[in-house]
């Protein structure tokens, strides 16, 4: 028999019993004891339990809640939301102690053994997270978890309640979550990373949105809709603008108010008519395809400006974009212009590449058709030779890679549009990071690399990439065809 102090609440023709169960008792209820007052989830299984409605608990989510309760998130470890349990058999006795007939009644609920299991309608991860935390720290044995107990729902009704709970609740929108974290945790990186993981950079992106919205010299002045406001009459929403900044997230020197602000002011100088307030909404340059494409180009523009102009401040970026966007007339960005042909994820990449090669006055690397028989090799060569994937070439960038494995790489001098293609990992005696470090004293501006499993694969990528740049007319710093490694012939010329 299980005895609980409860508050009975009447909803329609059903009684709800509200209580709290400490970690020690919850742990006991989790122990597999036949049907007697144990805590169970009705797990769906195609073969064993096709009428079930819950998924198997996820170990990762359980540990996440357990870590949260142990204070590892930097946030006060509270679980105020009630878990919901159902007794399919009404083998209970309630004795009232206080309260009136019109409202909640406080009393004692006795659950007989023949009532069977307490079925988890909602909250199985919270319950298991607390149990896991109790095992890791016995001080949590007295941590009380709120519980709402329903008596005598049939199994089908129980499943429908589960569906209702998980489909009718209005969840907090991601952009509002980001605003909350930006306001509360911008100075607490660990707490931000707890909630955002790899997207912690978005907190800095919200700073950028606010700055552009406030700046009267920015084309985005008062033109970005904040969470909970309509995008009508605005260029874009905060969520779209923040998401589009992802290509800049890998370089903390570029994901800044100064650079993004200067970058878009330079765009406005390049397209003065499109940047006029009356014309802003009539083009795709400052929203949608323009945002996602131009932000993919933004890191390369900074690297090119530094290499050719000495910095990536406003005037230098203006001169760089003046060249790179020369072939893209204002009509290209109008609603009925050709930019609309690039309005999807693949299109953003294609258009960004066009802008980059327009800036360089160079042809894109030419991938040999012979690689199509080896899709993995073809994919690796495409990734290595795509310039929007490149990083600034310096000691800290190389050390950040920390790749002591086989791989291929390419180094580019932006002032001369020349390239060196190499590899590392011969017999695993020389890792990728070590090999790249040997080039730091040489005159290169940007680089890219690809880690692979074997020196043979690295050698194939090296030689195929060398051909891709050479056949597109690039100046090859290593003029001679790379030597074969591991006795594998060149996948392009078979040397």
Residues 6+ apart with CB under 8 A from 11: none
Q: How many CB atoms lie within 10 A of CB 411?
A: 23
Query: Which of 146, 168, 190 delimits the end of a domain?
Result: 168
Residue 495 lies in a domain: no
pLDDT at 194: 63
Residue 482 lies in a domain: no
Residue 253 lies in a domain: yes
How many helices and strands in the chain, by DSSP H and E?
16, 15
Q: Is the dihedral of CA 336, 338, 341, 345 positive or negative?
A: negative
Q: What is the four-CA torsion angle of 314, 287, 196, 181, rounded to 10 degrees?
A: 80
Q: How many CB atoms lie within 10 A of CB 407?
A: 28
pLDDT at 427: 47
Query: Which of 122, 152, 168 delimits the end of a domain?
Result: 168
Q: Say whether both 49 and 142 belong to one domain.
A: yes
Here the tokens at position 163 are: 């569906």
425 neighbors 406 (Cβ within 8 angstroms) = yes
| Closest by CA position to 118, among listed 160, 158, 157, 88 | 88
Q: Say whether both 265 and 327 belong to one domain.
A: yes
Over residues 133-148, the pLDDT tens digits come to: 999 999 999 999 999 9
Which CATH number is 385's domain given?
A: 3.40.1440
pLDDT at 405: 83
Residue 443 lies in a domain: yes
Q: Say whether both 48 and 185 belong to one domain.
A: no
Query: Which of 360, 387, 411 delimits the end of a domain?
Result: 360
363 neighbors 357 (Cβ within 8 angstroms) = yes
Supply the DSSP symbol for 114.
G
Q: Say whether both 319 and 288 belong to one domain.
A: yes
Q: Say whether both 373 and 307 belong to one domain.
A: no
Residue 204 lies in a domain: yes
Residue 381 lies in a domain: yes
8 neighbors 16 (Cβ within 8 angstroms) = yes
**CA 323 to mean position of chain CA atoms:** 33
Supply the DSSP symbol for 493.
T
CA distance 309 to 216: 27
Q: Is the dihedral of CA 113, 114, 117, 121 positive or negative?
A: negative
pLDDT at 483: 86
Look at residue 429 and give its three-state secondary structure.
coil
pTM: 0.72
Beta strand segments in 137-211, E: 144-151
Q: Say whether both 181 and 155 belong to one domain.
A: no
Planar angle of CA 368, 369, 374, nearest 5 degrees: 95
CA distance 397 to 303: 13
Q: Say whether both 144 and 193 belong to one domain.
A: no
Per-residue pLDDT of the chain (495 residues; tens, 9 = 90+): 789 999 999 888 888 999 999 999 999 888 765 455 588 888 887 678 877 888 888 999 999 999 999 998 777 899 999 999 999 988 899 999 887 667 789 999 999 888 888 999 999 999 999 999 999 999 999 999 999 999 888 888 888 787 777 766 655 667 777 776 676 656 555 556 666 778 888 888 999 999 999 999 999 999 999 887 889 999 999 999 999 999 999 898 999 999 999 999 999 999 999 999 889 999 999 999 999 999 999 999 999 999 999 999 999 999 999 999 999 999 999 989 999 999 999 999 999 999 999 999 999 999 999 999 999 999 999 999 999 999 999 999 998 887 788 899 999 999 999 999 999 875 445 788 889 999 999 999 999 999 998 888 999 999 999 999 999 999 999 999 998 776 688 999 987
Q: Say whether both 163 and 267 belong to one domain.
A: no
Q: Say whether both 136 and 10 belong to one domain.
A: yes
Look at residue 138 and give its three-state secondary structure.
helix
Q: Say whether both 354 and 412 belong to one domain.
A: no
Q: Say whether both 348 and 256 belong to one domain.
A: yes
Residues 6+ apart with CB under 8 A from 416: 475
Our count of domains for the chain comes to: 3
pLDDT at 167: 64
| Closest by CA position to 277, among listed 220, 332, 236 | 220
Give the strand pairing for 2-11 and 391-392.
Answer: unpaired
pLDDT at 131: 94
357 neighbors 386 (Cβ within 8 angstroms) = no
pLDDT at 69: 94
Residue 245: domain span: 174-360
Residue 492 lies in a domain: no
Q: How many CB atoms lie within 10 A of CB 386?
A: 16
Residue found under tokens 């073969």:
47
Residues 6+ apart with CB under 8 A from 427: 455
Residue 223 lies in a domain: yes
């Amino acid at each position: 028999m299980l005895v609980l102090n409860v508050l009975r609440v009447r909803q329609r023709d059903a009684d709800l019993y509200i209580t709290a169960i400490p970690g020690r008792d919850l742990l006991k209820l989790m122990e597999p004891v036949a049907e007697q007052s144990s805590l169970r989830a009705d797990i769906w299984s195609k073969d064993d339990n096709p009428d079930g409605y819950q998924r198997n608990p996820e170990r990762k989510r359980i540990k996440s809640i357990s870590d949260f309760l142990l204070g590892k998130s930097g946030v006060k470890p509270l679980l105020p939301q009630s878990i919901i349990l159902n007794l399919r058999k009404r083998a209970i006795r309630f004795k009232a102690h206080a309260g009136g007939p019109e409202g909640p009644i406080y009393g004692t609920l006795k659950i007989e053994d023949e009532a069977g299991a307490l079925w988890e309608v909602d909250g199985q991860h919270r319950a298991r997270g607390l149990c896991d935390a109790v095992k890791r720290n016995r001080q949590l044995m007295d941590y009380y978890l709120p519980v709402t107990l329903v008596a005598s729902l049939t199994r089908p009704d129980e499943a429908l309640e589960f569906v209702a709970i998980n489909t009718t609740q209005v969840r907090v929108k991601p952009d509002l979550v980001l605003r909350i974290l930006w306001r509360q945790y911008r100075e607490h990186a660990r707490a931000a990373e707890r909630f955002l993981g790899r997207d912690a950079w978005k907190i800095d992106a919200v700073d950028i949105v606010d700055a552009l919205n406030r700046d009267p010299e920015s084309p985005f002045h008062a033109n970005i809709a904040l969470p909970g406001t309509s995008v009508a009459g605005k260029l874009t929403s905060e969520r779209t603008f923040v998401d589009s900044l992802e290509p800049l997230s890998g370089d903390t020197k570029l994901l800044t108010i100064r650079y993004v602000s200067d970058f878009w002011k330079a765009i406005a100088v390049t397209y003065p008519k499109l940047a006029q307030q009356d014309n802003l909404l009539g083009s795709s340059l400052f929203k949608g395809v323009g945002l996602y494409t131009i932000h993919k180009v933004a890191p390369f523009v900074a690297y090119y400006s530094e290499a050719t102009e000495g910095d990536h401040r406003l005037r230098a970026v203006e001169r760089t974009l003046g060249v790179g966007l020369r072939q893209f007339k204002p009509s290209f960005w109008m609603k009925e212009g050709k930019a609309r042909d690039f309005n999807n994820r693949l299109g953003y990449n294609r258009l960004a590449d066009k802008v980059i090669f327009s800036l360089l006055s160079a042809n894109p690397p030419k991938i040999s058709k012979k690689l199509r028989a080896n899709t993995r090799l073809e994919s690796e060569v495409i990734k290595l030779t795509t310039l929007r994937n490149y990083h600034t070439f310096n000691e800290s960038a190389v050390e950040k890679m920390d790749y002591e494995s086989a791989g291929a790489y390419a180094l580019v001098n932006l002032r001369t549009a020349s390239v060196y293609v190499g590899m590392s990992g011969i017999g695993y005696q020389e890792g990728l990071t070590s090999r790249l470090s040997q080039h730091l004293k040489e005159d290169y501006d940007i680089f890219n690399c690809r880690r692979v499993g074997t020196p043979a694969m690295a050698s194939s990528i090296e030689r195929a990439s060398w051909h891709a740049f050479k056949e597109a007319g690039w100046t090859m710093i290593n003029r001679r065809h790379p030597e074969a490694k591991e006795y594998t012939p060149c996948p392009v010329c078979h040397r």
